[in-house]
Amino acid sequence: MARAPKGRRIDGVFLLDKPAGLSSNAVLQRVKRLYGAAKAGHTGALDPLATGMLPICLGEATKFSQFLLESDKRYRTTAKLGIRTNTSDADGEVVECKPVPGDLTREGVDTLLQQNFSGQIEQVPSAFSALKLNGQPLYKLARKGIEVEVKPRQVTIYEIRLLELREDEIDLEVHCSKGTYIRSIVEDLGRLLGCGAHVAMLRRLETGPYRAEMMMPLEQLQQLAEFQPGEHSQECIQARLDRLLLPPWTAIAELPAVELSVEQSRRLQSGQGCGERFEQRGQVRIFTAGTETFIGVGEVGDEGYLKPKRLMSTAPAA
């Protein structure tokens, strides 16, 4: 008999403003403990140096985390010029120092950015990235001194903006596709400038449908998880924290929605077809009409029939 998971059944997405200096898994475990959740997962790791948007999926919301992993992202970064590190960021060891050109201009740097880092580009991920080779993250192999060939990959840069140019620093904002490594952009930019560069600051502003103003710092969440004057039960804290969660379907808000009757929903959840034809094609969000109950993700085939793909569990919460 399978063991019941420890913790309570709570479904939703918490948008964490990740602090610097902690791993994504470390903050994930903190959020999971604060919620007392039985199940939790994040949607794309940020390096310890990085801050910003880290959606934490709790309970059934973890079923839709892959959509966020594959979504577009927006970052703000500071490139430190004249210094290269082995990890391409400030956490690494310095491997080269060169003088920064004294004739850099906003116009010149912006032209370089648009010519080399706009649209579909090829980039080589850092050897210290979380990409896996035979099940091992590359950064673990790199720290052991094991050299591996990292193949270039194609990514899309929808927008790259020069925000600020100082003597030895450049502030950038980048809107990009999944799999884009900002460290690689900064490393390549330093090479093109002839002086080298590394990431001094990195902040993720957006992930898929989630915007920067929706995030909450970990410290604020921890404060809300403490007893307030007049409170005498853990249920008060849980209710306050639960109100911060976004519904699981927000992770796939960009998909069109379809509504089913209660009977059609029941049939779909039992593995049967719902019997109706739809005009939409492709993946859709499924709701039960009149109840606003989210059923899950389905796919409408060429003939218009809906098939389930990832459905919310119908098992009662423990």
- Out of 47, 72, 103, 302, pick the active-site residue: 47
Q: Specify whether 110 is catalytic.
A: no
- Residue 12: phi and psi, rounded to 5, are 165, 180
What CA–CA distance (Å, rounded) separates 183 from 206? 17
Strands (E), the chain: 12-18, 40-42, 51-58, 73-81, 83-85, 94-97, 119-123, 132-133, 136-137, 153-165, 169-176, 197-207, 216-217, 257-260, 282-288, 293-300, 306-311
Residue type (1 letter), 271: G
What are the residues whose beta carbons fall under 8 Å from the beta carbon of 297, sequence distance 6 or more? Answer: 64, 252, 255, 283, 284, 285, 286, 308, 309, 310, 311
Q: Which residues are catalytic?
A: 47
